[in-house]
Structure 1
Amino acid sequence: MSGPTPAQILEAAGVPFSSFPHAPIRTYEDIERELALPAERLLKTLAFRAEDRFVLVSMPMLLPAGYGKIAKAAGVSRSKLRRAGEDDLAVLGMAPGGISPLTEVADRTVVFHPSVPEMGKVYCGSGRDDVTIEVDAAALVELVKPVITDVAN
């Protein structure tokens, strides 16, 4: 694992949050089965590689991602954007199913969908597939300072 965990980043910044363990999750079906959480409060984070940096995109779980819009937000052509593989996630210190917008990896762009700041309490990845973080979306946005733009299809 490289750098502090998402929970450690939140703790160091003094952002209130809670986390809870559960069975490993990777898909939305896993989330529905394992977590009794409201879908409108679930924040998915997708990880991409764009040339020599990471692009992390956080958006409401039920919105479809627009890869062209993500590439534009990251300032790269669509052909230069690829989903991060497990080796890439290892560099971030994250597991599939636990991707978080919270990382201190230097070469990264973090993008949030415009609806995120107003979502209230959200549930997001902890870096692990068996722990979920609950945090206020506005506090998360203030800490991460992402690019905010529409990345949904």
Structure 2
Amino acid sequence: MSGRTPAQILEAAGVPFSSFTHAPIRTYEDIERELDLPAERLLKTLAFRTGDRFVLVSLPMLTPAGYGKIAKAAGVSRSKLRRAGEDDLAELGMAPGGISPLTDVADRAVVFHTPVPDMGKVYCGSGRDDETIEVDAASLVDLVRPVIADVAS
């Protein structure tokens, strides 16, 4: 299981951010209903499992993910890439609806869709489904050091 929360990772690195709590969210419909945030600033993170390795992929909320492109960017076979289940997310210390690109889990690849570094202020998962983090995308990229690739379908 992950040691620190995404907020603790940001704090330890000295990256400025804020967070706020809200009703639990899992879907985009939940986000639209519960949060008054601009869709173009929302960053979704998808979690995958390839055996013992995790792949975390962050992209703009309304951008459809291309699984083949994700696998290629992460350096894994598409046939080995599977969506992480709730047990997998528990290993990351995260809940569905709160997946974050920030984790202490060592055996993982992180991929950001090409436009993410230039998105400015973004809102991303905190690890919990009832809290959202606001952070500068460029600062997030500097901290996470992800693979940057076109992963849209």
TM-score band, normalised by shorter chain? over 0.9
Aligned residue identity for 1:136: D
Q: How does 1:120-135 map to 2 (within 5 A)?
A: 120-135=120-135
Equivalent-residue separation in structure 2 for 1:84 and 1:63 (angstroms): 19
Equivalent-residue separation in structure 1 for 2:131 and 2:30 (angstroms): 13
Equivalent-residue separation in structure 2 for 1:135 and 1:59 (angstroms): 14
Q: How does 1:54-93 map to 2 (within 5 A)?
A: 54-93=54-93
Aligned residue identity for 1:39: A
Q: 1:77: how far off?
A: 1.3
Alpha carbons 2:2, 2:103 under 8 Å: kept: no
Normalised to the residue count of structure 2, the TM-score between the two structures is: 0.99
Where structure 2 has 5 or more consecutive residues not aligned to the other structure, the ranges are: none
Secondary structure of the 1:117 match is helix
Matched residues, percent identical?
88
Aligned to 1:141: 141
Secondary structure of the 1:100 match is coil
Aligned residue identity for 1:114: T
Q: How does 1:1-16 map to 2 (within 5 A)?
A: 2-16=2-16
RMSD over aligned Cα, in angstroms?
0.7
Aligned to 1:47: 47
Aligned to 1:104: 104
Q: What's the CA shift string for 1:53-93, capped at 9, x where partnerless?
A: 00000000000000000111111111100000000000000
Secondary structure of the 2:68 match is helix
Equivalent-residue separation in structure 2 for 1:117 and 1:74 (angstroms): 18
Large movers: runs of 4+ above 2 Å: none
Equivalent-residue separation in structure 2 for 1:98 and 1:51 (angstroms): 22
Aligned to 2:17: 17
Secondary structure of the 2:87 match is helix
Normalised to the residue count of structure 1, the TM-score between the two structures is: 0.99
Equivalent-residue separation in structure 2 for 1:35 and 1:111 (angstroms): 26
